[in-house]
Structure 1
């Protein structure tokens, strides 16, 4: 992860909300934003985990708090954003990271069932929409407003309901970018490929990992910081003329024209 002096101050004084922030990528995004001076709110459906992660990051001197929130629940999201606005005066940055992505959703729709697919889309798609709409009012009038949605390389394959949900995130990103532009808010997305986190190393069969690596153009394992750096860039002033885009961080796995 880049740590140049100017980058360390990139988000000084900004208020950032990261959904699904208790663990994994959400925790990494929140930690990186805090290092760069942002006041970070980690929202997660697991209230205890959000509070614990926030406490860990505060121990390192970061300005971080954890809040409980189900991103698919419009009332909860609106109350959360109101609380953030009351505490911090508004919101500048949003990372729509919360999502369902376990092996349970990477299978045929008939196996998942209608109820499972409805929940998948409630979180992965409606959650992005609900959080973005709630954040828009809190961002209005504040310079440098930016939203980054987390899509997936699966959005370019569309083999499962999970991939279709992430394809919808790409579509929402373009749509919301157009809608939010008049308020000076940029909306982009990042689509990670296979990123070798500790969880992936434990859960992914070796044969599947080799299959994906064999389809990448860059023959190395994707790292967590590859995705974090892409998100940080899109949230920064260096991307001030970029909106409506989905940046693929896949080592060339999802390359297409």
Structure 2
């Protein structure tokens, strides 16, 4: 029997992309999955896909920067299923709109970027904490980015802050038996990236990799399943770079 049988996972940004893929994988392992997304319809549609495949899932709407709403979401998930075993802080802003230079974006967009990517992680973690405390194998996985390790963009700086929060929360929540880790994806050729990414950009990034070939969504899913599992029981405060070596460093 899978270790996820009967356990509950909350995934933010769960309506599409990595979040949806995480939900499908965890539900496939037997977990009950709560997909949270600012697009409530998208979250429920993704949950419906999981249920159609035989998994257990529900979708809930909410902005990760809304403290009161995130408290409601976590309390509702915990009440329905007896607690929360895994929180995946996946929600984030990363479109071309938020990948521009600070001088071009302006303060309002920079503030929104950090609100979602950084404060959102803190908000959801604080909201989930009372429902995870003391649960055997409880774990939080944050989604950072290879941009965090390379410098030069407000987006990368926001994800560097996520890596920092990962260490801080690992220190603070360890006493409650909660491990906290992060994943820094490199260039992952999801369906969206395949459609939007210029070939020249893809070639430039892949030339920086130490492993030839395409990074795929399932590479990040496998990293999540490892970090959240018993196999990683002695791993906390770490950020796992899944970049084909592109962001290798000390």
| Shared fold, TM over 0.5 | yes
Distance 2:244 2:79 in 1: 42
1:93 aligns with 2:93: no
Q: How many angstroms does 1:102 deviate by?
A: 0.3
Aligned to 2:204: 211
Aligned to 1:232: 225
Distance 1:203 1:56 in 2: 24
Aligned to 2:243: 250
**Cα pair 2:10 2:86 within 8 Å, conserved:** yes
Alignment partner of 2:84: what SS?
Answer: coil
Distance 2:191 2:42 in 1: 18
Aligned to 2:194: 201
Distance 1:142 1:247 in 2: 24
Which residue of 4, 11, 20 corresponds with 2:4? Answer: 11
Cα deviation, 1:171-199, whole Å, max 9, x if unaligned, reads: 00000000000000000000000001111
Counterparts of 1:93-112 in structure 2, within 5 Å, are 93-112=86-105
Cα deviation, 1:31-88, whole Å, max 9, x if unaligned, reads: 0000111000000000111111111110111000000010011011001111112111
**Cα pair 2:226 2:232 within 8 Å, conserved:** yes
Gap runs ≥5 in structure 2: none
Distance 1:105 1:157 in 2: 17
Which residue of 205, 209, 214 corresponds with 1:221? Answer: 214
**Cα pair 2:117 2:158 within 8 Å, conserved:** yes
Aligned to 1:131: 124
Alignment partner of 2:122: what SS?
Answer: helix
Distance 1:93 1:177 in 2: 14
1:23 aligns with 2:16: yes
Which residue of 123, 145, 152 corresponds with 1:152? Answer: 145
Aligned to 2:162: 169
Counterparts of 1:25-44 in structure 2, within 5 Å, are 25-44=18-37
Aligned to 2:178: 185
Aligned to 1:3: none
RMSD: 0.7
Q: How many angstroms does 1:10 deviate by?
A: 2.7
Distance 1:157 1:102 in 2: 18
Distance 1:230 1:51 in 2: 25
Aligned to 2:136: 143
**Cα pair 2:134 2:178 within 8 Å, conserved:** no
How many residues are paired up? 250
**Cα pair 1:105 1:160 within 8 Å, conserved:** no
Greater shift, 181-190 or 136-145, is seen at 136-145
Distance 1:82 1:29 in 2: 21
